[in-house]
Amino acid sequence: MKRQAYQPILITDASRSQDDQLTSRQKRYVLMMGIRVACLVAGAILVGAKAPLLWLWLPLCALGMAIIPWLAVLLANDRPPKEEHRLANRFQARGRDEAPPMSLTAEERPHKIIDAEP
């Protein structure tokens, strides 16, 4: 049996913590809601100033105010995909008989010594 070399797991391969993920989702949500408020303010200014091409700008602002909250909620409740479901991992075919990087062969595993005496 071929002995596989020990491959350490790098910290850079670790996924982000739950707190970091939550913080980034909260920031993204607040940013998107800020864009929504900007659309509302821009629409009000355009109506008040009677801007040219008002028939074009108002539907765009209304569309932004309607779609952005929906997207913000979807993205705020989303989580990153699990490693086994990522598309990149599907293209890296691993052999069926290949052992995971951290596994030990039967010869390398520590043996428990069972003492018959109490």
Examine the pLDDT at 31 and tell me if it is beyond 60: yes
pLDDT number for residue 62: 92
pLDDT (tens digit per residue) in 56-80 = 989 999 999 999 999 999 988 887 7
Q: What is the pTM of this model?
A: 0.57
Nearest to 36 by CA among 67, 59, 58: 67
Nearest to 102 by CA among 39, 10, 12, 1: 10
Asked if 58 and 48 count as a contact pair (C-beta separation under 8 A), the reply is no
How many angstroms separate the Cα of 39 from the Cα of each of 42, 44, 56, 98?
Answer: 5, 9, 13, 55
